[in-house]
Amino acid sequence: MEVFKFGGASVRDAASVKNVISVLQKTGYKDKVIVVSAMGKMTNAFEIVIAEYLQTRKAPLELLSELKEFHLEIARGLFELASAPVFKMIDELFKELINFMDHNKSIQYDFVYDQIVGYGELVSSKILSEYLKSQSIEHSWMDARKLIKTDSIYRDATIDWEETQKNISGKLKPGELYVTQGFIASDANNFSTTLGREGSDYTAAILAYCLNAEKVIIWKDVPGVLNADPRVFENPQLLNQISYEEAIELAFYGASVIHPKTLQPLQRKEIPLFVKSFIDPEGAGTSVSKGQTLIPAIPCFIVKKNQVLISLSSLDFSFMVEENISEIFKLFHQYQMKVDLIQNSAISFAVCVDNRFNNLEKLIQHLKARFKVSFITGVSLYTIRHFDDTAIKTLEKDKEVLLKQVMQNTVQLVTTA
C-alpha cells in the first residue's frame, strides 16, 4: 500500500482538485490512502474564526459564511449540477460547526481550537471524495478521527499507537483506495485533537507505519526538498536524496517541507518517503531513506521568523547551574515554548524560542520572579547545515547578528531581521 499526502496548495481551487485526479491517473489509484489538507489557506482562516468566537462567545456567522462560500465556489467548478450531493454535505458540515459553537461551554483556547480548525480538512476531503465519485473512481471516505487516537493534549496531541494500530488495521484493507484527512485525530472521549500545525505529513507517516506501507509521497508545489526556502533565498537547489537522520535534523531546525514528527515512524520501519511536485508528478523529486546523508553534499539554509530571544541571569550574579536550568526548562514546558537554540555562560543563559501558543507574557512574568530577564521579539533564527565559510558570510551580510553558535555540522545565527 502507498500513502499520498496532498497539502493545501494542491487542493486550493477547482483546477487543483482536478489535478489530483490527474496525478492519480498517472500513478495508479488502487492500494492507496490519500491524506488531504485544508484547501489553500483555510487553516489560517479558521484560526481567525476561533479568535472572534472566543472573544464574542457567538458563532461569527459572517466569517463562516465567507468560508462556506469559498468551498461552495470550488465545488461549483467541479460539479455542474446544483443538486450534486457535495453541496448538501458542505452545508451540513458548517451547520455542525455552528451547532458546536452555540452549545460549547468551554473557553479553553486549545480545546476550542481543535474542535473547530479541523473542519477545513473535513470539508476539503469531502469535496475531493465526491469529485472522485463523479469520475467513477471507487474509494471510501474515512474520518481520520475514527482512525487515529491520541491523548487530550489539544493542539499537540500524542498518538495512542496501540488503539491507532487496531483501528487502521481493522478499517483499511489492502487493494482499496481511501480518502482521509490530515492533521486531525480524537481522544478517548471522542473530542477532536490535532497533531500540531502542518501535521498532515505526520498523519501520512502514522498511516504508513500502521499499514506497513511500501512508500509515502508528499505532493508539493516545489520539485522536491530544496536546500533553501525559495521564498527567502535565491537560486535554491534540489536535494536528490537525504538520509532519515539528515531529514530529521533539517525538520528539527525548521525546514518547512517535512513536518518534524514525520520521519520517526517511517525510519523505524524503513519506509521510504518521497517529496514530489504535483505539477510534474513524473519528476524524480527527493527521496528520504536509509543511505548517504545528502546528495548533492551542499549547505542547507533554514530560517524561522518571528522568534523570541530570551536572556536570563541570576539576580545575585551566582552561577547558572543545573538547578537553575532545570527550573527554566520546566517553565518552558509548562508554557509550551519550543526551544530552538541554547547558549549559556557562567552567569547567563540565552535561548531562542518559538512562541507558537502565545504564552510569552505569562512565561516572562514567571521568570522575573527568579531571574533577571531581557527579551527581544520578532527575531529570525537562521540555521546552516553542512556550512562553509562562503555560506556563513553570505548569510551574515547586511544583518545584525545578536547571537551565533557554531557546531561541527551546523551554525545558527539569531538576527534582528
Q: pLDDT value at position 319? A: 85
180 in Cβ contact with 197 (< 8 Å):
no
Helices 61-76 and 85-103 cross at an angle (nearest 10°) of 160
Residues making up the binding site: 231
> What are the grid coordinates assigned to 362, written together?
505569562
Domain boundaries, the chain: 2-220, 300-415
Q: pLDDT value at position 159? A: 97
Q: Before 296, cis peptide (omega within 30)?
A: yes
- Whether 376 shows a pLDDT value over 80: the answer reads yes
- Whether 360 shows a pLDDT value over 80: the answer reads yes
Task: Read off the pLDDT band of 200 (50, 70, 90).
Answer: very high
Tens-place pLDDT, residues 137-152 = 999 999 999 999 999 9
Give the Å distances, CA to CA, from 24 to 77, 128, 223, 259: 19, 12, 17, 23
Q: State the residue for C-alpha cell 455542474.
A: 80
339 in Cβ contact with 312 (< 8 Å):
no
> What are the grid coordinates assigned to 48, written together?
481567525
Q: What does the alpha-carbon distance between residue 293 and residue 75 come to, in Å, rounded to a whole number?
A: 44
- Whether 219 shows a pLDDT value over 90: the answer reads yes
Q: Which residues of 244-267 are buried (b: 16+ CB within 10 A; e: fewer)?
A: bebbbbbbebbbebbbbbbbebbb
30 in Cβ contact with 175 (< 8 Å):
yes
**Is the C-alpha dihedral spanning 163, 166, 167, 172 positive or negative?**
positive
Task: Read off the pLDDT band of 268 (50, 70, 90).
Answer: very high
Q: In what order do the strands lie in the sheet with 2-6?
A: 140-141, 177-181, 32-36, 2-6, 215-220, 273-277, 286-289, 241-243, 294-295
Q: What does the alpha-carbon distance between residue 391 and residue 406 come to, in Å, rounded to a whole number?
A: 13
Mean pLDDT confidence for 214-238:
93
**What percent of the chain is modeled with pLDDT above 90?**
88
Q: Fold match between 2-220 and 300-415? A: no
Q: pLDDT value at position 316? A: 83
Closest CA to 189 of 220, 214, 163: 163
Minimum mean pLDDT among 146-160, 251-265, 336-350: which range?
Answer: 251-265
- Whether 259 shows a pLDDT value over 90: the answer reads no
- Whether 198 shows a pLDDT value over 80: the answer reads no
- Whether 161 shows a pLDDT value over 90: the answer reads yes
How many CA atoms, within 13 angstroms, populate the side-chain half-sphere of residue 261? 18
Most confident segment among 181-185, 335-339, 344-348: 181-185
292 in Cβ contact with 241 (< 8 Å):
yes
Q: pLDDT value at position 331? A: 95
Q: pLDDT value at position 417? A: 75
Residues making up the binding site for ATP: 231
What are residue 274's phi and psi, to 5 degrees? -120, 140
Other Cβ atoms less than 10 A from the Cβ of 147: the count is 26
**CATH C-level class of 2-220:** alpha beta
* 254: alpha, beta or left? (left if phi > 0; alpha if psi -120 to 50): left
**Is the C-alpha dihedral spanning 14, 17, 22, 23 positive or negative?**
positive
- Whether 396 shows a pLDDT value over 80: the answer reads yes
Looking at 3.40.190.80, 1.20.120.160, 3.30.2130.10, 3.60.20.30, the CATH number of the domain 300-415 comes to 3.30.2130.10
pTM score of the predicted model: 0.87
- Whether 195 shows a pLDDT value over 80: the answer reads yes
Q: What does the alpha-carbon distance between residue 163 and residue 190 come to, in Å, rounded to a whole number?
A: 13
Task: Read off the pLDDT band of 131 (50, 70, 90).
Answer: very high
